[in-house]
Structure 1
Protein backbone atom coordinates (compact mmCIF):
# COMPACT_ATOMS: atom_id res chain seq x y z
CA UNK A 1 0.00 0.00 0.00
CA UNK A 2 1.48 3.35 -0.99
CA UNK A 3 1.32 6.49 1.11
CA UNK A 4 0.76 10.03 -0.10
CA UNK A 5 2.95 12.80 1.29
CA UNK A 6 2.57 16.56 0.88
CA UNK A 7 5.51 18.93 1.10
CA UNK A 8 5.80 22.65 0.50
CA UNK A 9 8.06 23.40 -2.43
CA UNK A 10 9.53 26.76 -3.36
CA UNK A 11 10.37 27.51 -6.97
CA UNK A 12 12.25 30.67 -7.91
CA UNK A 13 13.49 32.09 -11.20
CA UNK A 14 17.23 31.45 -11.49
CA UNK A 15 19.51 32.91 -14.11
CA UNK A 16 20.95 31.44 -16.28
CA UNK A 17 19.47 27.95 -15.67
CA UNK A 18 15.77 28.88 -15.66
CA UNK A 19 14.30 27.87 -12.30
CA UNK A 20 15.56 26.63 -8.92
CA UNK A 21 13.34 24.58 -6.60
CA UNK A 22 13.75 23.27 -3.08
CA UNK A 23 11.81 21.60 -0.26
CA UNK A 24 12.33 23.27 3.16
CA UNK A 25 11.24 20.14 5.09
CA UNK A 26 13.81 18.01 3.26
CA UNK A 27 17.07 19.74 4.06
CA UNK A 28 19.48 19.78 1.15
CA UNK A 29 16.90 18.82 -1.47
CA UNK A 30 17.41 21.28 -4.34
CA UNK A 31 17.00 20.98 -8.08
CA UNK A 32 16.80 23.17 -11.16
CA UNK A 33 15.28 23.11 -14.62
CA UNK A 34 15.07 25.20 -17.75
CA UNK A 35 11.25 25.40 -17.50
CA UNK A 36 8.77 25.48 -14.64
CA UNK A 37 7.42 22.07 -15.69
CA UNK A 38 10.93 20.60 -15.75
CA UNK A 39 11.75 21.80 -12.23
CA UNK A 40 8.39 20.46 -10.95
CA UNK A 41 9.15 17.05 -12.49
CA UNK A 42 12.68 17.11 -11.06
CA UNK A 43 11.33 18.01 -7.60
CA UNK A 44 8.81 15.17 -7.71
CA UNK A 45 11.50 12.64 -8.61
CA UNK A 46 13.94 14.02 -6.02
CA UNK A 47 11.33 13.90 -3.24
CA UNK A 48 10.38 10.31 -4.12
CA UNK A 49 14.02 9.22 -4.21
CA UNK A 50 14.80 10.98 -0.92
CA UNK A 51 11.83 9.38 0.87
CA UNK A 52 12.69 5.93 -0.53
CA UNK A 53 16.20 6.34 0.89
CA UNK A 54 14.87 7.30 4.32
CA UNK A 55 12.52 4.30 4.34
CA UNK A 56 15.30 1.93 3.22
CA UNK A 57 17.58 3.24 5.99
CA UNK A 58 14.69 3.00 8.50
CA UNK A 59 14.93 6.71 9.31
CA UNK A 60 11.93 8.82 10.36
CA UNK A 61 10.03 10.56 7.59
CA UNK A 62 9.83 14.35 7.92
CA UNK A 63 6.52 16.18 8.00
CA UNK A 64 5.51 19.79 7.52
CA UNK A 65 5.03 21.69 10.75
CA UNK A 66 2.50 24.47 11.21
CA UNK A 67 0.15 26.07 8.77
CA UNK A 68 1.15 26.35 5.14
CA UNK A 69 -0.35 28.93 2.82
CA UNK A 70 -0.03 28.71 -0.95
CA UNK A 71 1.45 31.89 -2.35
CA UNK A 72 1.68 32.30 -6.09
CA UNK A 73 3.87 35.04 -7.50
CA UNK A 74 3.54 36.63 -10.92
CA UNK A 75 6.50 37.70 -13.01
CA UNK A 76 6.98 41.46 -13.29
CA UNK A 77 9.14 43.03 -15.99
CA UNK A 78 12.52 44.14 -14.70
CA UNK A 79 11.88 47.73 -15.71
CA UNK A 80 8.36 49.02 -15.37
CA UNK A 81 7.77 52.38 -17.05
CA UNK A 82 4.92 54.42 -15.64
CA UNK A 83 4.09 57.48 -17.74
CA UNK A 84 4.19 60.74 -15.85
CA UNK A 85 0.82 62.46 -15.53
CA UNK A 86 0.62 65.79 -17.27
CA UNK A 87 -0.01 68.56 -14.81
CA UNK A 88 -2.89 70.89 -15.52
CA UNK A 89 -1.77 74.49 -15.68
CA UNK A 90 -3.88 77.14 -14.03
CA UNK A 91 -5.78 79.34 -16.48
Structure 2
Protein backbone atom coordinates (compact mmCIF):
# COMPACT_ATOMS: atom_id res chain seq x y z
CA UNK A 1 0.00 0.00 0.00
CA UNK A 2 1.29 3.43 -0.88
CA UNK A 3 0.71 5.84 1.96
CA UNK A 4 -0.11 9.36 0.82
CA UNK A 5 -0.91 10.67 4.31
CA UNK A 6 1.38 13.60 4.95
CA UNK A 7 2.07 14.81 8.44
CA UNK A 8 1.72 13.16 11.80
CA UNK A 9 -1.66 12.83 13.44
CA UNK A 10 -2.20 11.63 17.00
CA UNK A 11 -5.58 10.15 17.82
CA UNK A 12 -7.02 8.10 20.63
CA UNK A 13 -7.96 4.55 19.64
CA UNK A 14 -10.22 2.38 21.78
CA UNK A 15 -9.61 -1.39 21.81
CA UNK A 16 -12.35 -3.69 23.07
CA UNK A 17 -11.70 -7.36 23.70
CA UNK A 18 -14.53 -9.36 22.15
CA UNK A 19 -16.17 -12.09 24.25
CA UNK A 20 -15.73 -14.67 21.47
CA UNK A 21 -12.08 -13.72 20.86
CA UNK A 22 -10.30 -11.01 18.97
CA UNK A 23 -10.39 -7.25 19.34
CA UNK A 24 -12.55 -4.44 17.99
CA UNK A 25 -10.75 -1.12 17.52
CA UNK A 26 -12.14 2.30 16.69
CA UNK A 27 -11.13 5.94 16.60
CA UNK A 28 -13.89 8.16 18.05
CA UNK A 29 -12.56 11.31 16.34
CA UNK A 30 -12.67 9.69 12.89
CA UNK A 31 -16.40 8.92 12.74
CA UNK A 32 -17.07 5.43 11.41
CA UNK A 33 -13.40 4.38 11.45
CA UNK A 34 -13.48 0.87 12.92
CA UNK A 35 -11.47 -2.31 12.46
CA UNK A 36 -10.79 -5.62 14.16
CA UNK A 37 -8.21 -8.32 14.53
CA UNK A 38 -7.79 -11.83 15.87
CA UNK A 39 -5.33 -10.44 18.45
CA UNK A 40 -4.28 -7.01 19.75
CA UNK A 41 -1.32 -6.67 17.36
CA UNK A 42 -3.47 -7.47 14.31
CA UNK A 43 -6.17 -5.04 15.46
CA UNK A 44 -3.51 -2.33 15.90
CA UNK A 45 -2.14 -2.87 12.37
CA UNK A 46 -5.67 -2.93 10.91
CA UNK A 47 -6.92 0.22 12.67
CA UNK A 48 -3.73 2.06 11.70
CA UNK A 49 -4.35 1.19 8.05
CA UNK A 50 -8.03 2.14 8.34
CA UNK A 51 -7.08 5.51 9.83
CA UNK A 52 -4.53 6.16 7.07
CA UNK A 53 -7.14 5.40 4.41
CA UNK A 54 -9.70 7.57 6.19
CA UNK A 55 -7.33 10.54 6.29
CA UNK A 56 -6.28 9.91 2.67
CA UNK A 57 -9.93 10.16 1.61
CA UNK A 58 -10.40 13.41 3.55
CA UNK A 59 -7.33 14.89 1.88
CA UNK A 60 -8.47 13.72 -1.57
CA UNK A 61 -11.86 15.37 -1.00
CA UNK A 62 -10.19 18.50 0.41
CA UNK A 63 -12.03 18.01 3.70
CA UNK A 64 -10.56 19.22 7.00
CA UNK A 65 -8.61 16.75 9.11
CA UNK A 66 -10.33 16.42 12.52
CA UNK A 67 -8.40 17.45 15.59
CA UNK A 68 -8.27 15.24 18.67
CA UNK A 69 -10.97 16.47 21.03
CA UNK A 70 -11.59 13.45 23.21
CA UNK A 71 -11.92 14.13 26.92
CA UNK A 72 -11.67 11.15 29.25
CA UNK A 73 -12.84 11.80 32.78
Shorter-chain TM-score range:
0.7 to 0.9
Deviation of the 1:41 alpha carbon:
0.1
Give the aligned length: 68
Is 1:54 aligned to residue 54 of structure 2?
Answer: no
In structure 2, the gaps of 5 or more residues are: 1-5
Q: CA RMSD in A?
A: 1.7
Q: Per-residue CA shift, 1:35-90, capped at 9, x if unaligned?
A: 00000000110000000000000001001126568xxxxxxxxxxxxxxxxxxxxx
Query: How far is the alpha carbon of 1:16 from its aligned partner?
Result: 2.4
Higher helix share: 2
TM-score norm. by structure 2 comes to 0.84
Gaps of 5+ in 1: 70-91
Alpha-carbon offset, residue 24 of structure 1: 0.4
